[in-house]
Amino acid sequence: MKDSPVALQTTTPLSFADAVARAREELAREGFGVLTEIDVAATLKKKLDVDREPYLILGACHPPSAHKALWAVPEVGVLLPCNVTVSVEGGTTVVRAMDPAGVMGILGSKELAEVGADIGARLRRVVDAFCA
């Protein structure tokens, strides 16, 4: 699966549950913690009585980078945390991570560009771990 303009992405033969566990492990290996978790499928079922395939959003944070970014440009907080999703689409498990380089680049800050490049490399390794 090719990356999109906003996401680093891949498919995996892992089950949804196994992919979620692996995503957590790979995020931790790269120094991220998971601050939030949104079960989109459960929320849509509860609020709209809509059934959909599993879709989970993990709000991941790399504390040193978040600190550096917020110190440089406080409004970057609206772009945090870095979302990583695990979903089932047409029977295939898909893993995506936001591509922070482009998002941070819109603020025109050298410091943010550096943070975006570092976080992007870390998230690339997380996504690529599913290809190995």
Total-model pTM: 0.94
- Residue 127 near residue 96 (C-beta atoms within 8 A): yes
> What are the pLDDT digits (tens) for 65-74?
999 999 999 9
86 backbone dihedrals φ, ψ, rounded to 5°:
-125, 125
> What are the pLDDT digits (tens) for 88-107?
999 999 999 999 987 788 88
Domain boundaries, the chain: 7-128
Please tell me whether residue 26 adopts helix, strand or coil conformation.
helix
- Residue 80 near residue 103 (C-beta atoms within 8 A): no
| pLDDT score at 44 | 98
| pLDDT score at 2 | 87
Q: Which residue ranges of the chain lie beneath pLDDT 70?
A: 132
- N- to C-terminal Cα separation, the chain: 14
- Residue 100 near residue 118 (C-beta atoms within 8 A): no
- CATH H superfamily, domain 7-128: TT1751-like domain (3.30.310.70)
CA-wise closest residue to 86 among 74, 70, 75, 97 = 97
CA-wise closest residue to 103 among 91, 117, 93, 88 = 117
| pLDDT score at 132 | 64
